[in-house]
């Protein structure tokens, strides 16, 4: 018996609208699996479902944390575990939808039990990173934890800082913690696992058009409000697509045309990375090649029906 539907897909592929159609058909609730759509202040730039969309079907784990929070895969997994239990009690089928591959990995494989780092220590480590600079900071990590450092790109500041934090917090290399297997949140054999793989040229056009729509609906004002919050650049929310360029425009560093151009380019590049990740990490998922709209909705509804989910709706 199918207990959940997982819908992975690159940004702008139409998965959110298709998930709503599926939820209405089978009696489901959409659970967010997008790392930027968790933030309450990022509605437009994360392409979060609008209030009208949320009225059509239950939505969970959208816009429930602040951009000031250092949200992580582990925190999402903990929230998802509670949400899945709640939906089971409510007899709603979870439709986990998004483009963050590590969230789906956490669902299927579980996460290693890496302890949470204390907030005070996080501040101290980031101060040291700022004082030493990326190269010297990485060198210090490599001297103390060569096992983990060898697995990291020295230029990837976020992951280098994370490894240093864990070492300081626990005295144990992050690589050793990661070697411990986690506990899956779902049984993949009881899930309908779908990955959307649209035509790349079509997807790139969608990326460009959607960012234009974001701008028309007030994305610059959203960026202005977040800029006023003076976020730590190491926070995950600071990496929202387009946000940095729009803030640079507001600071007088870029023209608006240049900011939009760069944001669209980064969005296309991100979509490409997502498709590559899905292709390599989800080879046994059912690939759906439909290009958004009613074609994608029809494809998902057909696959759900073939998996017996229509019967769940009728008998539930």
Local confidence band at 311 (pLDDT 50, 70, 90 cut-offs): very low
> CA end-to-end span of the chain, whole Å?
13
Looking at residue 233, its pLDDT comes to: 86
Looking at residue 26, its pLDDT comes to: 95
249-273: average pLDDT: 98
Lowest mean pLDDT among 21-30, 63-72, 180-189, 305-314: 305-314
Looking at residue 40, its pLDDT comes to: 98
Dihedral pair phi/psi, residue 234, rounded to 5°: -85, -10
Query: Which domains, ranges and CATH numbers included, belong to the chain?
Result: 4-111+182-315 (3.40.50.300), 119-178 (1.10.20.140)
CA distance 301 to 22: 6
* CB neighbours of residue 280 within 10 Å: 9
DSSP state of 32: E
- pLDDT tens digit string along 101-144? 999 999 999 998 888 888 899 889 999 999 999 999 999 999 99
Dihedral pair phi/psi, residue 182, rounded to 5°: -95, 180
The separation between CA 164 and the C-alpha centre of its own chain, rounded to angstroms, equals 24
Which residue did the predictor score with more confidence, 178 or 265?
Answer: 265
The dihedral through the CA atoms of 193, 102, 229, 256 has a sign that is: negative
């Amino acid at each position: 018996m199918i207990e959940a539907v997982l819908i992975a897909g690159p940004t702008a592929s139409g998965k959110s609208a298709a998930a709503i159609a599926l939820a209405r058909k089978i009696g489901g609730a959409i659970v967010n699996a997008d790392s930027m759509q968790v933030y309450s202040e990022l509605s437009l730039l994360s392409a979060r479902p609008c209030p009208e969309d949320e009225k059509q079907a239950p939505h969970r784990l959208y816009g429930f944390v602040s951009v000031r929070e250092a949200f992580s895969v582990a925190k999402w997994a903990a929230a998802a575990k509670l949400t899945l239990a709640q939906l089971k009690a409510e007899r709603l089928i979870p439709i986990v939808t998004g483009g963050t591959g590590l969230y789906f990995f956490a669902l299927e494989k579980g996460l290693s039990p890496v302890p949470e780092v204390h907030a005070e220590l996080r501040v101290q480590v980031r101060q040291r990173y700022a004082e030493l600079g990326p190269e010297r900071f990485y060198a210090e990590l490599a001297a103390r934890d060569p096992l983990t450092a060898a697995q990291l790109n020295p230029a990837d500041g976020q992951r280098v800082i994370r490894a240093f934090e864990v070492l300081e917090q626990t005295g144990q290399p992050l690589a050793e913690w990661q070697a411990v297997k986690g506990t899956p949140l779902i049984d993949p054999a009881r899930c309908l696992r779908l990955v959307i793989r649209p035509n790349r040229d079509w997807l790139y056009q969608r990326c460009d058009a959607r960012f234009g729509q974001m701008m028309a609906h007030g994305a610059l004002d959203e960026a202005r409000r977040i800029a006023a919050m003076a976020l730590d650049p190491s926070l995950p929310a600071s990496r929202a697509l387009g946000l940095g360029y729009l803030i640079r425009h507001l600071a007088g560093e870029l023209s608006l045309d240049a900011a939009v151009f760069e944001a669209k380019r980064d969005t296309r590049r991100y979509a490409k990375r997502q498709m590559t990740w899905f292709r390599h990490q989800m080879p046994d998922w059912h690939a759906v090649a439909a290009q958004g709209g009613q074609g994608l909705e029809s494809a998902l509804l057909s696959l759900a029906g073939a998996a017996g989910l229509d019967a769940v709706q009728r008998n539930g």
